[in-house]
Amino acid sequence: MDQLAGREGERKILLDALERDEAELIAVYGRRRVGKTFLIKSVYEKKLVFEFSGVHEATLQDQLLNFTLALQTASKSKVSLVVPENWIKAFFMLEKYLNPIVKNRKVVIFFDEFPWIQSPKSGFLNAFGHFWNTWASLQANLVVVICGSAASWMIKNVVNNRGGLHNRITHRIRLLPFTLAETSAYLKSRRINLDQYQLLQLYMAMGGVPHYLKNVEPGESVAQAIDRLCFDKNGPLKDEFTQLYQSLFEKAEYHINIVKALAATSQGLTRNQIIEAIQISSGGTITKVLNELEESGFISSYVPFEKKAKDAIFKLSDEYSLFYLKFLVNKKASGAGTWLRVAESASWKSWSGLAFESICMKHLTSIKKAIGIADVYTEVSPWRYAAKDEAGTQIDLLFDRNDNCVNLCEIKFSLTEFTISKNYATVLREKVSIFRQKTKTRKTPFLTMITTYGVHKNAYYLELVQKEITMEALFG
């Protein structure tokens, strides 16, 4: 098995569960391909005594058959086990197998793709709750791990369950894609050494999703990797988009339409703007879809400075989805050298700025540390002002600080050192002026530049910029 890179916090939660003298029920959830199964098997490899994975859209009979085969494999029985009629009997069989084992040592059982096991009218969730409450929770030597890619389903039906599993989860882990630092460590563990700019470009195209990153080969440039993985006719990421959403969500059309609408704008959209863009009625459906996308890590919501939750702005935060919608969907370009040709286009420039901004939003802790406010309470959001009869503006990222200051961050992706021109200096002055006027804040604004290679120290820089951060800080 490959070496596990990163995931220090998650590993600690899983390992600590082995040290406690009580039963543990751990829920792990996160988007498809993010490494949930690999994490659990890596940490618990020597403790696993039973594991079972649900099958997508399988019948009750097929799920029970697979469960029985998994139990036969775990018990090393030479005699075929009888397939139970229902889940109550299935869990009784599991109890009989586990009873002598848990008396002597700490062990782990693992249910993967948990939401897929709960087919309509199967009774699985109720039977699992009964199994936990009447037997498993009483076994001090037992750790039960349940895992699922449908994050919103896991939250609703397991974490916030109002039936037999109510308040039964002892720990929950929301597994997110790797950070830039974790991506660097992961690739180095696979003998892939790239500089920070190359790593940043790779992350902009596919994010920190381990399953995507593992396809990169040693000695390959990022341009070569993107060509092979995304633009080759057999590239594993060429058609991943549709499979990704349809495997996670029922009626994924709404989810895909929202993602497409958010990919088309750099400013993000409010709930009402999303409703208008995809032509959906306001009500429970849009709330459910937005929640599912956010819990699964595809979108993020931010409440603008001095606004209320109803004014939240939604932004696309999945790098691969943005990349696919910009460069792969309905595009004919393919083969070696495609990415380098694309990188000369206007669409590449607009995409790179949006992708870099999204990455910055995922590395807020590193940015706060670089600014020097790691220990200062802050609220973070983008900010914008728009009006029909006067000039509007947008702040890419705003740190509203509890020490009576506010950092107004301009995020600029550049191939070289960024230069503030005379015209751009005017834009920056107007941004700060409009922000002061419209928010009527008494806090001191600090204009902060976040760039790839830094900002040229000309007169405009010295006049306007109080803080400067380069991409190196994002790896911290």
Across the beta sheet with 467-469, the strand order is: 378-385, 393-401, 405-412, 444-451, 467-469
DSSP assignments along 303-339, one per residue:
PPTT--GGG-EEEE--HHHHHHHHHTTT----STTHH
Q: How far is CA 252 from the centre of its chain?
A: 18
| pLDDT tens by residue, 407-441 | 999 999 999 999 999 999 999 999 999 999 999 99
Contact 205, 354 (CB under 8 A): no
Q: Is the pLDDT of residue 153 over 50?
A: yes
CA dihedral 312, 313, 314, 320 (to 10 degrees): -140
The model scores a pTM over 0.85? yes
pLDDT given for residue 2 in this prediction: 53
| pLDDT tens by residue, 220-275 | 999 999 999 999 988 999 989 988 998 888 789 999 999 999 999 888 999 999 99
Whole-angstrom Cα distance, residue 137 to residue 145?
13
Q: Is the pLDDT of residue 1 over 50?
A: no
Q: Is the pLDDT of residue 179 over 90?
A: yes
pLDDT given for residue 333 in this prediction: 67
Q: Is the pLDDT of residue 474 over 60?
A: yes
pLDDT given for residue 4 in this prediction: 67
Contact 28, 9 (CB under 8 A): no
User: How high is the mean pLDDT of the chain?
Assistant: 92
In terms of C-beta density within 10 A (0-12 exposed, 13-18 middle, 19 or more buried), how is residue 434 classed? buried
Whole-angstrom Cα distance, residue 280 to residue 268?
18
**Least confident segment among 165-174, 320-329, 351-360, 462-471:** 165-174
Spell out a b/e string for 101-122, using b for 16 or more CB atoms within 10 Å of the CB, else e.
Answer: bbeeebbbbbbbbbbbbbbeeb
Whole-angstrom Cα distance, residue 192 to residue 2?
14
Specify the DSSP element, H or E, that contains 383. strand 378-385
DSSP assignments along 87-123, one per residue:
HHHHHHHHHHHHHHHHTTS-EEEEEESHHHH--TT--
**Least confident segment among 17-26, 65-74, 160-169, 369-378:** 160-169
Q: Which of 412, 417, 419 is nearest to 453 (CA)?
A: 417
**Least confident segment among 286-290, 364-368, 398-402:** 286-290
CATH node for 8-174: 3.40.50.300
Task: Confirm whether 240-327 and 363-474 share one CATH topology.
Answer: no
In terms of C-beta density within 10 A (0-12 exposed, 13-18 middle, 19 or more buried), how is residue 348 classed? middle
| pLDDT tens by residue, 310-334 | 889 999 999 999 999 999 987 766 7
Where is pLDDT greater, at 335 or 364? 364
Topology of domain 240-327, per CATH? Arc Repressor Mutant, subunit A (1.10.10)
pLDDT given for residue 330 in this prediction: 79
pLDDT given for residue 3 in this prediction: 61
- The residue-averaged pLDDT of 92-119 equals 95
| pLDDT tens by residue, 7-23 | 899 999 999 999 999 99
| pLDDT tens by residue, 203-214 | 999 999 999 999
Of the options 3.40.1350, 3.40.1000, 3.30.750, 1.10.10, the CATH number for the domain spanning 363-474: 3.40.1350
pLDDT band with cut points at 50, 70 and 90 for residue 281: confident
Contact 270, 314 (CB under 8 A): yes
User: What is the residue extent of each domain of the chain?
Assistant: 8-174, 240-327, 363-474
